[in-house]
Amino acid sequence: MATLSLLALLALVTRTSIANSPHHSQAVPIPRDPTSGAGVPLQPFVSYSIEFSSFPDFAGDLANPNTFSNNLLNNLGAFTGIKPLIRVGGNTQDYAVFNKSLDTALVGIVDPAKSPDYPTTITIGPKYFESYLTWPNTRYVHGFNLGRNGSVARQGLIDSVAYACKALEGGKLAFWELGNEPDLFKTSAQGPVRPANWNEQSYVDEWLYWTRAIRTALEKACPDLATDELYKFYAPSFAGTSNSLNPITTFEDDLDQDKDIAIISSHNYISGATVPGVTLQGTLMNHTSTVASIAKQLNESRLLAALPHDLNPDLPFILGETNSLYNQGRPGLSNTFGATLWGVDFNLWCVASNIQRVHMHQGTNYRYQSWQPVETNITAKGTKAPYYGNVAVAAFLGDLTNSAKLPSVVNIPLPSEREAAYVSYVSGKLAKLIVIQMEEYNTTAGNNFTNDYPRPVVQYDFQLPRGVQGKYAVERLSANGSDAITGVTYDGYSYNYELNNGLPVLQNNVTRGQTVKVGRRGKLSLEVPRSSAVIVCFQ
């Protein structure tokens, strides 16, 4: 059936089932001011991590820049005032060996026994760095290879510095990164690259040696980028908090003795693509699952803050790589609208918990990707459902360009693990409220409803701070169901590749421009269809 307008959907539900729909009997109180534990994002917050071997697909080169990708980045920048920060890294940064004689950007060999999704034997040439020149007003984190040992790989690392820094001059460089997930170097499923006795001190010694060697090469090629102010890293970029290297021990062993770490970067995946028992409702569309996953990073952040003063890094804590299910996601889960809603809750729980930036990871043909940058025989070029979650997060946070007016974000606890709510404050005043309704409501790929009941609407009642009254704009994130992979809109707009190369296109069959009224007593009643999200804008 054709996509229902939100107004028609609400009318249908009202006629048939609203009386029996879920409803919270007591109004949920919204604090007047942000609490002392409110989270404040970095500029930018919504960011991406792009697989090293996929970056030329996502960005293109000077002869063929990928304007579709750039349009999607610009869309997010229109909400926040600043485009996403792009980290170029992942597993394949530690397979990439630079050869200055190579006349193509990248040559990769896929070994299906190691990974069917990306090459594990990779050579890159000078042309690779052209991809950094295709997206205007974009800043990058460039990942250097630490994993590969041997004289060819090590010389290639140093040789690559001049090409990387020349491409990233003029304000394109945000930070460097050396090594991806070194806490898995001894245990990698693609093959160990360090001996069993390699420990935290071994890693620290190695990291210090090569970061100093990189700086020496940088001083020759791009001295302006070798200053104490600009020579900064994401680190330690561990895969998690409980692998073969302990992040706390790593800093106790004085990883930051040169004071060239700017951001503490950790990686997080809520579960794995092949882990038994992973479901859309129980794993992704589940606030309790998200809270439990992020708790490990929050504990790491607290332990780092408790280190002695000379070892305490006292730096922003971020997720430099994350997404739904490791091993590139699972079809039917990671590419659905349910994963879109998970991404909104996950990102906002992070910022409310003072994880100050989140890089959503993606690569060519990856199942959890926000968009597919090129046409392949596996995946069609296009905007994927998770991108709309990135849009909703950017819209909720709003303008991040004024450091004096960054939003403070607070989680508002709700009774069920299948729902979540957050509020933001700007200059101490209530700015926005978002409700994420994560109860499954499924469709088929053809958008024929498989449920034998109309889509329920959950009514949420909130008690707003005194003085908040009047009519306020409502923006909705919606699709035909939690398992839908197409037909997603935010505030009535589609960002589909097929419509206008990723630029926003207003849809005629989706209702927008709604308002809600708040009376003198400050009560707000909000109707949210199952498997959808809604933002109320108070400023």
Contact 443, 457 (CB under 8 A): no
> Phi, psi at residue 382, to the nearest 5°?
165, 170
* Alpha-carbon span 438 to 254, nearest angstrom: 43
| DSSP secondary structure letter of residue 48 | E
Instruction: Please give the pLDDT value at position 189.
Output: 86
Give the DSSP per-residue string, 345-412. HHHHHHHHTT---EEEEE-TT-TT-SEE-S--SSS-SEE-HHHHHHHHHHHHH---S-GGGPPEEEE-
Confidence class for position 25, pLDDT limits 50, 70, 90: low
Element (H, E) at 234: strand 233-238
* Alpha-carbon span 290 to 271, nearest angstrom: 10
Tokens of 159: 């040789």
Confidence class for position 24, pLDDT limits 50, 70, 90: low
pLDDT single digits (tens) 470-491: 999 999 999 999 999 999 999 9
Q: Pick the closest to residue 389 from 34, 31, 48 (CA basis).
A: 48
pTM: 0.94
- Residue with tokens 């101490």, as numbered in its chain: 428
If one compares 133 and 13, the residue with the highest pLDDT of the two is 133
Residue 196: how many other CB atoms lie within 10 Å:
9
Element (H, E) at 536: strand 532-537
E strand spans, 52-102: 86-89, 96-98
The predicted model gives 513-539 an average pLDDT of 95
pLDDT single digits (tens) 203-249: 999 999 999 999 999 999 999 999 999 999 999 999 999 999 999 99
Q: Which residues are catalytic?
A: 200, 321
pLDDT, averaged across the chain: 93
In the predicted structure, residue 35 carries a pLDDT above the cut 90: no
Instruction: Please give the pLDDT value at position 209.
Output: 98
Instruction: Please give the pLDDT value at position 511.
Output: 86
> Phi, psi at residue 198, to the nearest 5°?
-70, 120
The predicted model gives 165-183 an average pLDDT of 98
Confidence class for position 513, pLDDT limits 50, 70, 90: very high
Instruction: Please give the pLDDT value at position 23.
Output: 55
Element (H, E) at 272: strand 261-272
Q: Pick the closest to residue 235 from 217, 254, 262 (CA basis).
A: 262
Instruction: Please give the pLDDT value at position 449.
Output: 54
The predicted model gives 50-74 an average pLDDT of 98
Structural domains of the chain in order of their starting residue, each with its CATH number: 6-37+410-537 (2.60.40.1180), 51-402 (3.20.20.80)
The predicted model gives 109-124 an average pLDDT of 95
The predicted model gives 365-371 an average pLDDT of 98
3-class DSSP assignment, residue 310: coil
Contact 85, 357 (CB under 8 A): yes
Instruction: Please give the pLDDT value at position 143.
Output: 98
Confidence class for position 36, pLDDT limits 50, 70, 90: confident
Q: Is 488 left (phi over 0), alpha (psi -120 to 50) or beta?
A: beta
- The percent of residues in the chain predicted with pLDDT above 90, rounded, is 90
- Residue with tokens 């926000």, as numbered in its chain: 370
- The percent of residues in the chain predicted with pLDDT above 70, rounded, is 94
Residue 44: asked if its preceding bond is cis (omega within 30°), the reply is yes
User: What type of residue is 62?
Assistant: L
Confidence class for position 453, pLDDT limits 50, 70, 90: confident
Q: What is the bridge-based pairing of β-strands 408-411 and 419-426?
A: antiparallel
pLDDT single digits (tens) 377-411: 999 999 999 999 999 999 999 999 999 999 999 99
Name, in order, each residue with C-beta under 8 angstroms of 340's C-beta and a sequence gap of 6 or more: 385, 386, 388, 389, 392, 477, 479, 488
57: which strand partners?
Answer: none
Instruction: Please give the pLDDT value at position 14.
Output: 35
If one compares 360 and 20, the residue with the highest pLDDT of the two is 360
User: What type of residue is 429?
Assistant: K
pLDDT single digits (tens) 334-363: 999 999 999 999 999 999 999 999 999 999
| DSSP secondary structure letter of residue 221 | H
For 16-20, 169-173, 263-267, 275-279, which range has the lowest pLDDT when averaged over its residues?
16-20
Contact 437, 528 (CB under 8 A): yes
Tokens of 160: 């690559």
Contact 457, 529 (CB under 8 A): yes
**CA terminus-to-terminus distance, the chain:** 37
Instruction: Please give the pLDDT value at position 520.
Output: 85
* Alpha-carbon span 370 to 380, nearest angstrom: 13
In the predicted structure, residue 10 carries a pLDDT above the cut 90: no
The predicted model gives 494-498 an average pLDDT of 98
In the predicted structure, residue 13 carries a pLDDT above the cut 70: no
In the predicted structure, residue 166 carries a pLDDT above the cut 50: yes
The predicted model gives 33-46 an average pLDDT of 92
Q: Pick the closest to residue 474 from 424, 438, 521, 528 (CA basis).
A: 528
Contact 434, 526 (CB under 8 A): no
Instruction: Please give the pLDDT value at position 229.
Output: 97
